Every structure is written in structure tokens, then in C-alpha cells.
Amino acid sequence: MATQEWSIQEIARVAGTTSRTLRHYDDVGLLAPSRVGSNGYRYYDQRCLVRLQRILLLRELGLGLPAIADVLDGERDSAAALAVHLEWLCQERDRIERQIASVTTTLRKLEGGEQIMATEAFDGFDHTQYKDEVIERWGKDAWERGDNWWRSLSDKDKREFQQRQYDIAADFAAAHKQGKAADSDDVQAIAQRQYDWIAIGWQGKRPTADEFVGLGQLYVDDPRFTAHYDRHGEGTAAFIRDAMATYAERTLR
């Protein structure tokens, strides 16, 4: 007979799902039983089975329940719904691919013995958060010059620029840890690299002695910079400030 009926468990087994899922579909209005007994039991007929199979098919394709409802109730073309969903899936895939790439490079660095938390941290470096300070200290022209330059860089160049800074900071921290003095020749050599690095960012306009000293002081005064440098070891920011001050006095005046 075409008027065949199944209990909730039976239809769940037949369709390859669970009774809980069917109750859920009933709750959200996606699939109501064809009949409900006076005892509250749910019973499903052929039409329900067909609808259920369609639901499960679309679910396997990854569609959400509201989208499935729209399709099955004819309020939305299935092709259109699937096309939208496909877009979604591709974005998700891309996102995951990017994460895989990030995790892979991080793992390689870890294997190479590098401390994590370094370059990557600077990766998400948002230079615009310093906009107001830069304008206040050095003027609007300086900001715009630097901003334009930064935007002109490729991702690779940006990373390399940051990597150089990371290496310099790491060397400062190592020297500090070894007990070297901020005015020692070794440390002053690092300060020289720091000066050159800044000159690059300033687009050739080499900092004056006062500007260089002020910048070093900023590393200590501004918590964002302090946190950044102290990541290499406590007191690194202050050590760098001292080294920069010495460099300014000895070399820039």
C-alpha cells in the first residue's frame, strides 16, 4: 500500500539518520510527521520519506537547514542556493588553505630553533595605530611620506623589513642578556643597524640626534612599543633606548 507508515525509529534507520534528528527537524519546522498519534507518537509516510531523503542529500552537500527549507518549499531555486553555497565553500577552503600555510611556516621555524611569537607578531602590524603620534611628533608630511612608502611595498618586502627589525631587536636582547653594556662597541654596532633601518622607513630622511634619542625614549614610554621589544626579554626596550642615546651622542652630533 502507498499509505504505508513508519515509526520515528524505523524511518530514521531507513533513511540513515537518527530519531533525534527527526525530532529536531520537526521542532524547527523542516519536516513534520504525516500523523501524530493520540499518544504523541510521530508517524511518517512515503511523502515524508522522500522529503527527508532530499533534506539529507542537501545536508550532505553542506547546506544549512534554513536554506534547505527554502529550496524544498519552492521559495528558492535549488541551483541558486547551491551556487551561493558553493561560493561559501570556496571562501572557507581559501581560509583554511591560508591557515595551513601559516601553521606550516610556523612549524618550520620552530624546527629551525627559532622562537615563536616573533616575526608573525609583527605581521599583523598595523602601522596606522601610530598615526596620531607620528603626526604630533614629526608632522603630517612625515606621516604621509612613511604611509605612502609602506603601502607601496609588496607583502614580501614588508615581511623582510619587519624581519630586519626583528633580527635587530633579537640581537639587542641577546647582548643585553649577555651583560654587554649599551655603550659597548658590539651594541653600538647594532645601534648603527637600527639607525639604518629607521632611515629606510623614513625614506632617506636620516634622523637627527635628537630625533633618534626621542625615538628610543618612545620605545620605553609607549606601552605598545615596550611590549613589542620586551617580548625578546625584560628590559630590552630600556636597553635599546640607552644604546640609541649613546649612538646619537657619539655618532650623530
Question: What is the pattern of x (binds DNA, CB under 7 A) and - over residues 51-90?
Answer: --------x----xxx------------------------
Looking at the Cβ atoms of 27 and 160, the one nearer to a second copy is: 160
In angstroms, give the least distance from the CB of 44 to DNA: 10
Chosen residue from 14, 28, 249, 250 binding a second copy by CB under 8 A: 14
Contacts with 12 (C-beta within 8 Å, 6 or more apart), sequence order: 18, 19, 21, 22
Q: Is 9 in the site for DNA (CB under 7 A)?
A: yes
- Out of a second copy, DNA, none, what residue 76 binds, judged by CB under 5 to 8 A for its kind, is none
Q: Is 250 in the site for a second copy (CB under 8 A)?
A: no
Nine cell digits for residue 240? 635599546
Eight-class DSSP state of 49: H
Is 126 in a helix, a strand, or coil?
coil
What residues numbered 57-96 form the site for a second copy, per CB under 8 A? 57, 60-62, 78-79, 82-83, 85-86, 89-90, 92-93, 96
Chosen residue from 14, 18, 108, 206 binding DNA by CB under 7 A: 18
Handedness of CA 187, 189, 193, 198 (dihedral sign): positive
Eight-class DSSP state of 77: -
Rounded CA-CA distance 91/34 in Å is 39
How many CB atoms sit inside 10 A of residue 48's CB? 22
- Out of DNA, a second copy, none, what residue 64 binds, judged by CB under 5 to 8 A for its kind, is DNA
At residue 93, what are phi and psi to the nearest 5 degrees? Answer: -60, -45
In angstroms, give the least distance from the CB of 179 to a second copy: 19
Beta-bridged to residue 36, according to DSSP, are: 42
In angstroms, give the least distance from the CB of 35 to DNA: 11
What are the b/e assignments for 167-187, b being 16+ CB within 10 Å? ebbbbbbebbeeebebeeeeb
What residues numbered 151-210 form the site for a second copy, per CB under 8 A? 152-154, 157, 160, 164, 189, 192-193, 196-197, 200, 203-204
CA angle, residues 142, 188, 184, in degrees to nearest 5: 150
CA R_g for the chain: 32
Question: What is the pattern of x (binds a second copy, CB under 8 A) and - over residues 23-52?
Answer: -----------------------x--xx--
Tell me how many residues contact DNA (CB under 7 A). Answer: 19
Taking Cα atoms as reference points, which of 95, 36, 30, 86 lies closest to residue 56? 30
Q: Which residues bind DNA (CB under 7 A)?
A: 7-10, 18-21, 23-24, 37, 39-42, 59, 64-66
